[in-house]
Amino acid sequence: MGRRGRPTIAAVAIVVLVGWAAVPAAAGDELPAVDVELDVAPDAVTVDWSVWAEKLGAGVTGWRLERAEGDAWKAAATLGAAERTWEDRDVTPGETRRYRVVALDGSGDRATSEPIAEVVPHDHFLIPSWVEPGDGERETRVVVQAFRFWEKRRRWVRSRAPMAAILAVGESVHGITVIDAGHDVEERRSPAGRRRELVRRRWVKLRYADGTTQTVEDTAVPRSVLRVKLSELHGDIVHRHRPARDLEAIATRGAVTVSWKDALGNAYVRITGYEIERRAAGEDAWTSLGPVALDGPPRRFVDTSVVAGTRYVYRVTSTAEMDREGTMALYAFGRPIPDHLDLPDDARRRTTEPSAEVRVPADIRLVPLFIEKTVPKHAVIAVSRWDPKTDDWAKPKTRRVPLGGDVAGAELLDAGEDTRRETLPGGDVRETVVPWIRVRHADGREERIEGAP
C-alpha cells in the first residue's frame, strides 16, 4: 500500500485473502486517495495528512490536530507547517478514535479535513475471513486470521501458530474469545455509479482478557496490517475432527436403540462413516457391530443381537477424511492442495465416551409369593411370560421350586423372607414380610428378586 493513498490492487489482493469482501478495481487502476490516514497500533495512533497537505499547496502556516471526545472536538496538538504526521500515545485498546486535521494560515482556520476513525487494536488482532451461521443442529463457526504487534519493529506480523483458526462461539485463540459472529449483505454502487455491487461484510465480536469487547469487520482492517509481507500470509490450516455428541442407548424387549448426533465444531473434515461397538457389563473387550451408513440425520442404530436381562454399554467411532474443497479456501492463495497433504492418522478416528449402562428387559418375570420353611426349603413363585402378540405379560403360573431347582431356565440358589418395620403416624409399628429369591440365569448372571409384602 502506498503511504500517500488508498491500497493499490496488490494490497487489495492481500485484503481479500484475510477476508475483505470489497470488490477490487480493474487491473492497473488506483483507488481514490484519502486526505488523512490512520496507522493504528495497540499503544499509539499515527495520523498522516501528507496527501491533504499536497492538495492545499502553499500558504499553510501550521496544523491543529483535533480529537473527538464524545460529540465535541478538542485540540490535541498544534504543529508547524512542515509537519505531516502526528502520533497519539494516549490510547486504549478497544476504543474507537476519531481525528481531523485543521489547516492554519495567517487569518486563522483555513480548512478542515474530513473526520476519520479506527478502532485501537489489542496486541493480537483477529480478522474474520469466513463465517458459517449456525442452526438448531450446528453451531456458528468463524475462520479468523491472527496477527500480533511486533513492538520492537513497530509493525504487525502474522501471529505464531495458529496463524489461522476455526472457532465456534465461546472458543478462544491467543487469549481472545469469540462471543458472536455473523455476516451482513448490502448493496453498494461503484464510485462512478455505473454498476451495483453486493458486498458481504463478515463480522466477529471478541472479548479480550481484560474484559473489553470489540466487534471487528473484515473490511475494518488496520492499514498497518496491510503491510504484512505476502510471504507471511501462508498460514497453518487447522483441521478439527471431534467425536459424535449426545450418545444415548434405550433398551426395549429384544433390542437396544443407539442414537447420536454429528459433532459440533468439526472444521475442514468430512465424516465418512460411523462404527458401533458394544460391551456387556462385566466384560473388558468391545465387540464391533459393524459400520453405519450415512443416510442423513437422525443418526440411529438398532441392535437386535441382545440377550434378555443383560446389561450393555455402547460407543460410537466416527471416521473422517480431509475436506479438500473446503481446505482450498484457506490454503496459500488458492494454489492446488499437494497430494501429500492429508489428515494425520490420529485425526481420522474419534470415539465417544461409553453410553450409560442399559439393561435389556427379560422375557420372563419371576415374583416370589412366599417361602415354605420345609426341608429342603421351597419357594412358591409366580412365573409370567411376555406375549408379543398382546404386547403384555401373560397370566402368571404358580410353581413350587426347591433350592437348586430350575425355574424358567434359572437356578434357584437361595430364598428367604425379610421383616420390615414401619412407624405409622400414630406411633404404632407395622411389620411386613417380604419374600425374596436369588437365582442364576442361563448366561451366568445372578439376580436377587423381591416379592410383594
Q: Is 239 within the bounds of a domain?
A: no
Measure the CA–CA gap between 401 and 240, rounded to whole angstroms.
61
Residues spanned by the domain of 149: 124-233
Low-confidence ranges of the chain (pLDDT < 70): 1-34, 135-138, 153, 160-164, 186-200, 219-239, 265, 268, 295-297, 323-343
pTM attached to this predicted model: 0.41
Evaluate whether residue 1 is within a structural domain: no
Cβ atoms of 369 and 382 closer than 8 Å: yes
pLDDT of the residue at 30: 34
Predicted confidence at residue 358, as pLDDT, reads 93
Residues 210 and 253 in one domain: no
Domain boundary among 189, 204, 233: 233
List the one residue out of 273, 360, 277, 287 whose CA is nearest residue 314: 277
Residue 193 within a domain = yes
Domain match, 290 and 354 both: yes
Tell me, yes or no, whether 442 lies in a domain. yes
Instruction: Tell me whether residue 395 is in a domain.
Output: yes
- The three-point CA angle 322-326-332 to 5° equals 100
pLDDT at 100: 94
What residue has cell string 470488490? 23
Q: How far apart are CA 362 and CA 410, in angstroms?
A: 12
Same domain, 28 and 46: yes
Whether 396 is in a domain gets the answer yes
Do 250 and 355 fall into the same domain?
yes
CA distance 135 to 158: 32
Q: Residue 343 and residue 347: Cα distance in Å, rounded?
A: 6
Alpha helices in 243-387, H assignment, sequence order: 324-328
Q: Residue 2 falls within a domain, yes or no?
A: no
Give the separation between CA 24 and CA 34, rounded to whole angstroms: 17
Asked if residue 348 and residue 416 are part of one domain, the reply reads: no
pLDDT confidence of residue 345: 73
Neighbours of 376 (CB within 10 A): 9
Q: Are residues 395 and 418 in the same domain?
A: yes
Q: Are residues 112 and 145 in the same domain?
A: no
One domain for residues 87 and 161: no
State the CATH number of the domain containing residue 324. Answer: 2.60.40.10
Question: What does the block give as the cell for 390?
Answer: 398382546
Q: Which of 359, 392, 410 is the last residue of a domain?
A: 359
Return the pLDDT at 20. Answer: 29
Split into its structural domains, the chain has a count of 4
Same domain, 113 and 142: no
**What pLDDT is stored for residue 16 in this prediction?**
29
Regarding whether 113 and 138 lie in a shared domain, the answer is no
Short-list 319, 318, 325, 317, CA closest to 268: 325
Task: Give dist(CA 355, CA 357) in Å, integer.
Answer: 6
Dihedral of alpha carbons 116, 119, 125, 131, sign: negative
Please tell me whether residues 17 and 66 are part of one structural domain.
Answer: yes
Task: State pLDDT tens for residues 326-357.
Answer: 554 444 334 444 554 566 777 889 999 999 99
Long-range Cβ contacts of 209-214 (<8 Å, 24+ apart): 209/175, 209/176, 210/93, 212/93, 212/94, 213/94, 213/179, 214/94, 214/119, 214/122
Which domain-ending residue is among 359, 375, 391? 359
Q: Is residue 372 part of a domain?
A: yes
Asked if residue 221 and residue 156 are part of one domain, the reply reads: yes
Position 312 scores a pLDDT of 94
